[in-house]
Structures are given as structure tokens and as C-alpha cells.
Structure 1
Amino acid sequence: MNLTGVGRRYGLGGPWVLRGVDLDLPAHTLIRIEGANGSGKSTLLRLVAGIDAPTEGRITGRRPRTAYVPERFPAALPFTAAGYLVHLGRIHGLRTAEATGRAQAWLARFGAADHARQPLSELSKGTSQKVAVAQALLAEPELLVLDEAWTGLDTAARDELDRGVAERVTAGATVVFVDHDPRRLAGVIDITHRVEGLGLVPVAAREAAYDAGPRVRIEVTGASGATLPTGLPGAPAQEPGPDGTLRLTVAAVHSDALLRSLLTARPPWHIRQLSESAAPEPTPRTEPSRIP
């Protein structure tokens, strides 16, 4: 999906919020949107998610299955937490039993399983936000749009959302997000754009996706003659380890998905050791990155 010359204003003759925006949304890509408060970031995300239509310009290409987490979650809806997730799952085309199972799983992942039967209107702000991000992730969307989705989450839930984002990108989805923390997913972002004036300015891409942020080292052994599966999550760096082991180093947000891939491979790989690995010092750039 692509945005070409897109502009948005509210009301006839109202001031332009965005104008002349070009943005490509390739699959398998994590895209960060930056900009000052009130610059139009949320408006851009609503256009990407299909919540708003452009006043001018075109959005072309196939509309992917999309999930969206707004900056403010409408917690006054007449549902329980689990009921809301099942309802949204049904809207996304899931059968009731499947939606129920995914709702329970995501509430558990975000530490909110005890609130499943609680009305949305009675939830704390933090728990409401957990429901908001769970409804987006349970549908396994092809396009995931997150507007300050980490705000209000506790540390464990923020880490879980990081993992959920990494899983969607690994599965081939496009994720577009805004967050006030400049370190958010800094080691795994593919493309960054900044809203300036009324337009969108590309920012130099992060170095090869995995040069920054916390990383995990996994020492593994396989059956005689076994080769690693292709397309492993996080594209881990590989080097020989002691006693015939293989060392894999990957961004921490991809470590859970990588472990699942290794353990479910045929034949499965044996995990010998798991440890933290310091991120290397970034290599100075001599020329700007090309933005796709």
C-alpha cells in the first residue's frame, strides 16, 4: 500500500494538517513516525489505518488486514475486557472459539487475565491500554498501526508489546508506530520518517536493523549434519561456539520468536545456553542510507 500526494484537513476550507505526503508501506517492515506534538502524526496514522480518508492525493494498492491502537482508548464501551476482545476478533473474521482463545492468551501475556470479566468502564487506565493493544494483536494483522500504544503500560507489558511487534514483522506484517520514547524499538526499526511542516521527511535508516539495543546470545547444538532453518526471526548473527556449539546473537525483542523457531524445527535444535550480549558500538556512517 502506498500514499501519494496525500493531504488532510478538517472542514471545508480548514487549515491543512498534512499535505503532499508520500509514504510506502512495504511488507516485513517496521516504520517509526516522529514529529513534534501537534505536528500531524496521529492524523497520518489514522490515514494509514483507514480511519480517515485523505482530502487530496491517493492511497493505492491492496488494503491489508489492519489493526489500529488509537492514542486514546474508548473505555466506556458496554463490554467486559474479554467480551470486547472476542467482539473485535469476530469483526476481524475469527470464529468465536478462536477469538475467545486468542483473547485469553493475549490477556495472559499482558498480565491482565484476572480482569477478563471486568467491564471496560471499571478498568484502570493501564489495564484498559492492555486491552487496547491485545485487540490489535490477536487478529494477527498484515498492517499494525500503533499511536503511543506503550503509554500507560507497566514495564512488563511494554516489553510484551515490543515482542508482539517483533513477531508481527517477522511474520511479514507492516508495523507503523508513534512513541514519545526515542529509544522505543531503536535496534530493530527499518525506516523512520519525521513530520515536518505539512509533509513527511525521511530520516536516515538505522544501521542494518540490529546494531543497537539489548541483544541475546543463544548457544545451540543440532543433530549431526543439521543446518539452521532459513528465515530465522531477527536474522541472527552466527559464529562457532565451544564444543561444537553454534552461537546466535539477536535483538532481544526477537529472542522469543527465535527460540520457538529453533525448538519447533525438524529436527529441533538443543538450547545449551542463553545469555545477554552487549550491543556493539555503532559504526559511523559515511553517507546517508537510501530510504526505500
Structure 2
Amino acid sequence: MRPDLCLHHAGRRYGLRGPWVLRGVDLTVAPGRLVRVEGANGSGKSTLLRLLAGIDSPSEGRITGRPRTAYVPERFPAALPFTALGYLTHLGTVHGLTRAAAARAAGEWLERLGAAAYAGTPMARLSKGGSQKVAVAQALLGEPELLVLDEAWTGLDADARAEFERAVAERTAAGGSAVFVDHDPRRLAGLPDATYAVRDGRLAPRAARETVPSGPHMTVETQGPPQGQLPEDVRRTATSAEETGPGRYRLTVPAPHSDVLLRTLLTARPPWHVVSVSQPDDTSGGLR
């Protein structure tokens, strides 16, 4: 397993005598962790993410444990001399894939994000939403160990936003980590392992809120071995897990992540049986 990514008393300023944007930052991002960063505009959130992504170097302090990292900014430079598929295929070969495997992975991600129709479109002709889908696809096709996402959902349509959330949940369930900033408090609601706030150039952990996140949820009834422990990946994805009997749990999960949770249950060893899946107000008890 890769080592933790650690910032040790890291600081960043621009210019030898410029003001400090960040200072004294200590942060550890372990494999499998999902971290949310909050703060007002201009507080230093993007600077922190650029340090984590390796785009900027700290002006003081140090960073250790560099994983393979993919970065998605709010605005992606679309004026590149490629088509969408050509660009992603090129990036896939940079990640070490064969050209055929890179083209296949590129096509799969464009399809998944609802951008297959843009495959042959020159990058310079893509809309903001189209270019952002390419930005997301280029980050995910190499299966990075760390995703750094700076308002990365901006410009995406609702289906693509939900699919991107599923992809982030899948990466962390598979042992990757992700750090993200987003203006929408519902983004990946209920999933982050930790939330930090940037204020006055300093980073501080924010106490977890006990409220159930807003938005549609699913209820999943599952049965495992009588003495079985619920898989950790399931606990990470679910908003809540109530034990209702020996090896039996009632799980609540945000609707966009229900397929991730179900896949994790069904592929666990030993496997867990899905008894029912329902909306909170559904009393049929059947699989929907």
C-alpha cells in the first residue's frame, strides 16, 4: 500500500516578499480517505489543492509520500490541438496504457459521463460543460491514487455530476483517496471522512455534523454471516448503518451512491445478501 501523503508545517506565498497565502499547514491524506476542504473565496483553498497535486511547491515546510495524482480544476484549458478522444487516448498512453487500451478506456469514460457524442469534436470547439467532462475523464482513466478536485463539478449537467460522484466514491472504496473543494454543501454529502476549513491562511479540522445530508436517499436491507462484520467500504459509503439482527443491517445511502454500495456488498468476501432496496417512503419492501 502506498504511504500517506503528508504536509508538514507547509506554507505558500507568491514572491519572496509576498503575503503568506497558507502557513503552518499539517495534513495527512491516507489511502481510502475522502477529504472535503471549505473556506471563503480567497482563503487559500485552491493554493492548498495545488500543493497537494504537486503543481506548486511549498515556500516552507515539506510534503512527503507523493502518490500518483490527478487534478481537475474548475476551468480546464480546452484550446488543445486534439479531439476529445484523441486527447484522452494520448493521456492514457502517458499513464502507461497501450494505445488500444487507452482508446478503450477513453471511450468508456466519455460514454459514462454522457460525452460520447463529443469524441470526435476538436477540444477548442467544446462547450464549458463538454470540456469539463473531458477534464474529469482524463483524471479518472489512469485510476489515480489521489484525486484533487477544485470545484471540478462546475459546468457539468446533473447526470454527469451524479456519475462523477459515483466515480469518486468508487475510487475511495478501491483504496484511492480524494481531496475536494465544492461550493455545493450537498456534494458527496455523508461520505467525507474528514472536513477541514481554511481561515486566515490556516487549516483546521471542522467538527463533523450529525445531521443527515439533504437529497434523496435509499434504504438497503442486507444480510451477512451471523457473526459477520459489515465491510468497512460499506460503512464508508453509507450515511448510517443500523444493526437489526445477527448479521443483518439497515443501511441509508445517498441515492447517487446506492450502486456503489450495492456493488460493494455483492462483491464482498464472504458475500452479503441484499434483502431489499427502497426509497425511505417505500413500504413495499421489494427491490426497486
User: Residue 91 in 1 paired to residue 94 in 2?
Assistant: yes
Counterpart for residue 12 of structure 1: 16
Q: Is the 8 A contact 1:240 1:246 kept in 2?
A: yes
User: Which residue of 163, 173, 177 maps to 1:174?
Assistant: 177
- For structure 2, the 5+ residue unaligned runs are 282-288
Contact 1:76 1:121 in 2 (8 A): yes
Q: Which amino acid aligns with 1:218?
A: V
1:156 aligns with 2:170: no
Cα 1:226/1:103, change in 2 over 3 Å: farther
Can you list the C-alpha shifts for 1:152-203, whole angstroms capped at 9, x where unaligned?
A: 0111111111111111111111110011112211211111111111111211
In 2, Cα distance between the equivalents of 1:153 and 1:125?
8
The 4+ residue runs of structure 1 with deviation greater than 4 A are 219-222, 224-229, 238-241, 245-248, 262-273
Query: CA 1:172–1:265 in structure 2 vs 1: closer, same or farther (change >3 Å)?
Result: closer
Query: Number of residues paired by the alignment?
Result: 272
- Structure 2 counterpart of 1:29: 33
Q: Percent identity between the aligned chains?
A: 63
1:218 paired residue number: 220
1:61-80 correspondence runs (5 A): 62-80=65-83
CA distance in 2, matches of 1:49, 1:107: 24
1:4, 1:191 → 2: CA distance?
18
Alpha-carbon distance between aligned partners in 1 of 2:58 and 2:233, rounded to the nearest angstrom: 38
Deviation at 1:38, TM superposition (A): 1.2
Q: 1:153 to 1:226 in 2, by over 3 A?
A: same
Cα distance in structure 2, aligned partners of 1:97 and 1:46: 32
Q: Hey, what's the Cα distance between the residues in 1 that align with 2:227 and 2:150?
A: 43
Aligned-pair CA distance for 1:270: 6.6
Classify 1:249/1:168 alpha carbon distance in 2 versus 1 (closer, same or farther; 3 Å): same
The SS at the match of 1:277 is coil
TM-score by length of 1: 0.83
Give, in angstroms, the shift of residue 72 of structure 1. Answer: 1.5
Deviations 1:29-70 (A, max 9, x none): 11111111111111110000001111111112x211111001
1:41 maps onto 2:45 in alignment = yes
User: Which stretch has the larger CA shift, 212-221 or 159-168?
Assistant: 212-221
3-state secondary structure, aligned to 1:195: strand
Deviations 1:6-38 (A, max 9, x none): 111112222221111111111211111111111
Paired position in structure 2 for 1:190: 193
**Cα separation, 1, equivalents of 2:268 and 2:74:** 39
Alpha-carbon distance in structure 1 between the residues aligned to 2:277 and 2:141: 28
Instruction: Write the distance in 2 (CA, Å) between the matches of 1:267 and 1:120.
Output: 46
The whole-number CA distance in structure 2 between the counterparts of 1:55 and 1:246 is 49
Equivalent position SS for 2:81? coil
Residue equivalent to 2:262: 259
